[in-house]
């Protein structure tokens, strides 16, 4: 693409963008709140699919493992990096990975290895497996507060990210998620809070939308109605 063609594309995109300027208006006090008058599991799954992810609603932890096995069968990962999380423990994730001879690591090993060693482990991982702190049904987003055992690299570096979400973790609206953050006391505040909405996307390469450039190109969310905990 020549310089003139590149600049012409930018001018066209800017012209299109001007059609969508935001205008100020009086806003009612409760406008935009989604509320809880819906099946949050279904709502969450629908929004995840709408933003380019692949969501599945399952009945319980046994069904969640069946779905996870389907994903592993599709991608045949050799290595995984994982969160340390009660829901993943209850699923028996370590045993699941060992049975499939998938090498895996998590916070316990990273905290004892050198920076160079665990950096190589992160970069080589085929799949990242997490839960979430809060899932937002309105937008199909995962709110991830980073910290020991909840490293954001698990959802950022591998080409495939799988998140397992229990019904109790889902809130209806972004407003509810902000309220949850406000409830965390100063000692529990995360150094970084990320909202994940779909696989990685960028439009800065010749103004063409591309997935998987700055993060996972494949994003799966398994929503569990009744985890056995």
| Cα gap 137→139, rounded to integer Å | 6
Per residue in 149-189, pLDDT (tens digit) is 888 899 999 999 999 999 999 999 988 988 888 887 656 67
Q: What pLDDT score was predicted for residue 33?
A: 60
Q: How much of the chain exceeds pLDDT 90, in percent?
A: 50
| Cα gap 229→227, rounded to integer Å | 6
Per residue in 98-151, pLDDT (tens digit) is 999 999 998 888 877 777 788 888 999 999 999 999 999 999 999 998 888 888
Domain 38-224: give its CATH code. 3.40.50
Per residue in 185-208, pLDDT (tens digit) is 656 677 788 899 887 666 565 556
Q: What is the pTM of this model?
A: 0.79
């Amino acid at each position: 693409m020549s310089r003139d063609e590149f600049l012409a594309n930018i001018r066209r995109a800017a012209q299109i963008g001007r059609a969508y300027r935001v205008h100020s208006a009086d806003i009612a006090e409760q406008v935009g709140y989604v509320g809880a008058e819906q099946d949050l599991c279904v709502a969450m799954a629908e929004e995840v699919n709408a933003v380019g992810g692949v969501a599945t609603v399952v009945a319980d932890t046994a069904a969640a493992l069946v779905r996870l096995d389907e994903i592993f069968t599709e991608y045949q990962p050799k290595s995984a990096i994982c969160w340390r999380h009660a829901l993943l423990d209850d699923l028996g994730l370590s045993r699941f990975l060992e049975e499939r001879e998938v090498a895996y690591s998590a916070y316990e090993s990273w905290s004892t290895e050198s920076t160079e060693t665990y950096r190589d482990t992160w970069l080589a991982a085929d799949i990242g497996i997490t839960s979430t702190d809060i899932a937002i049904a309105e937008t199909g987003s995962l709110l991830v507060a980073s910290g020991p055992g909840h490293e954001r690299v698990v959802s950022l570096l591998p080409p495939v990210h799988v998140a397992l979400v229990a019904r109790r973790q889902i809130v209806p609206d972004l407003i509810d998620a902000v309220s949850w953050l406000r409830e965390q006391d100063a000692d529990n505040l995360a150094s970084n809070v990320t909202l994940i909405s779909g696989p990685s996307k960028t439009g800065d390469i010749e103004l063409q939308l591309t997935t998987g450039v700055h993060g996972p190109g494949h994003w799966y969310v398994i929503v569990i109605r009744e985890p056995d905990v």
